[in-house]
Amino acid sequence: MVKSVILAAGKGTRMKSDKPKVVHQVMGKPMVYYSIEAAHQAGADEVCVIVGYKADEVKSAIAVSVNDVKVDYALQEEQLGTGHAVKCAADFIGRDGDVIILCGDTPLVTGDTLRKALDFHKDSGNGVTVISAMLDDPFGYGRIIRDGDSLAKIVEQKDADEAEQAVKEVNSGMYIFDCAALQDALSQISNDNAQGEYYLPDAIEIIKKMGLPASAVPMDDADQIRGVNTLEQLADAEKIMENR
């Protein structure tokens, strides 16, 4: 069984708009529509969208645009990090099968990319697979640090030393987890950090300590990593989508 959880609770203050970020449109559809469709095309039978800011507006936008996928919702009342957001969907995730974690503001990822990553995840018997991208300019992204073929850790830009900053493979913020391993890891994630938030990447180290394999698999087209945080980035995403 494959499920998907899509993080869509944030306001997106850099969009300079009162609308929730994920309802801003690309080619006439709300951004979050594309994440839902990509997950469905990759084989996710059920999708849960994490809502927060103006939740009803997000639900309405999804109801109007998504016809062929059953969408559930989980409410994240306070924005306490990506780990906390996923925890809000714990009942939906359950302990069977695998779950694809996506962001509602990355409309360019395709079902084909997710399906390839899912196949790799299953064939490798992984507890977690990080979908990565190779970027000429990786500044600002968490770096994928490998130990041979396996994933050693993800290092955030601000924590990376000179050698780590030279790494061009970055974390897309998209993951595939074994559901049971994720549930066990979520119960152990701490918010003992500068932001006081629960970070989903912290689950990777916990899962590795359980003795389960962890890998990163790069996407073929690095444009698919693009998140939309500003109106300029929204326009860029529209152009790329039109060119497709």
Question: Which range (38-42, 70-74, 146-150) has the least confidence?
Answer: 146-150
Beta-strand pair 143-147/71-75:
unpaired
Would you place residue 195 in the very low, low, confident or very high pLDDT band (cuts 50, 70, 90)?
A: confident
Specify whether 146 is catalytic.
no
pTM of the model: 0.96
Rounded to an integer, the average pLDDT of 210-231 is 96
pLDDT of 135 over the 90 cut:
yes
pLDDT of residue 83: 96
Cα–Cα distance, 221 to 136 (Å, whole number)? 12
Rounded to an integer, the average pLDDT of 85-105 is 98
CATH number of 2-243: 3.90.550.10
Cα–Cα distance, 179 to 10 (Å, whole number)? 24
| Residue ranges covered by each domain of the chain | 2-243
